[in-house]
């Protein structure tokens, strides 16, 4: 007797988190696969037109140049990331460097503006 997809989905929806974790591990072992999320392929090639039509939803904030007001930039980085003073200083000293990854568009633009007001140059990627 074959089990339908609906039967499987109903059984999974009734499982606890621990049971689901064990189920995923069993799938990984049985089929030799990994449940880790795959990275999205780079836009280009044959699917370049379709990928370009989709709007980007997550942005990485990159500190390009520090500028003259290094202290102000460090303060802005601390405010954006929540890093401590030493970590923020190291990030600013290592420019160009990614400040924060996978930000929503509005948050990324606000953070970029904050860095630029502090005298730095920042990019969204």
Chain segment 61-89, per-residue pLDDT in tens: 888 888 888 899 889 889 888 888 888 88
The domain containing residue 16 runs over which residues? 1-38
In a domain, 98, yes or no: yes
Please check whether residues 32 and 69 belong to one and the same domain: no
pTM of the model: 0.54
pLDDT for 40-51, tens place per residue?
A: 555 555 555 555
Give me the chain's average pLDDT, please: 81
63 with 108, same domain: the answer is: yes
Note whether 17 and 67 are same-domain residues: no
Mean pLDDT across the stretch 105-120?
A: 88
- What is the token pair recorded at 51? 């990928």
What count of Cα atoms within 13 Å lies in the side-chain half-sphere of residue 12?
11
Q: How far apart are alpha carbons 42 and 64 in whole angstroms? A: 22
- Cβ 88 vs Cβ 94: under 8 Å: no
CATH code for position 101: 3.30.1390.10
For residue 1, being part of any structural domain is answered with yes
Contact 123, 62 (CB under 8 A): yes
Q: Is residue 118 located within the same domain as residue 65?
A: yes
Domain count, the chain: 2
Same-domain pairing of 27 and 67:
no
Backbone phi, psi, residue 78, to 5°: -60, -40
């Amino acid at each position: 007797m074959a089990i339908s997809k609906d039967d499987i989905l109903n059984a999974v929806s009734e499982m606890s988190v621990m049971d689901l974790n064990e189920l995923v591990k069993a799938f990984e072992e049985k089929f030799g696969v990994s449940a880790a999320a795959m990275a999205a392929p780079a836009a280009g090639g044959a699917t370049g037109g379709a990928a370009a039509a989709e709007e980007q939803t997550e942005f990485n904030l990159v500190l390009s140049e520090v500028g003259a007001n290094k202290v102000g930039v460090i303060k802005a980085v601390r405010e954006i990331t929540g890093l401590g003073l030493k970590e923020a200083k190291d990030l600013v000293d290592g420019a160009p460097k990614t400040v924060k990854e996978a930000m929503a568009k509005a948050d990324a633009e606000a953070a970029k503006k904050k860095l630029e007001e502090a005298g730095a140059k920042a990019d969204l990627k």
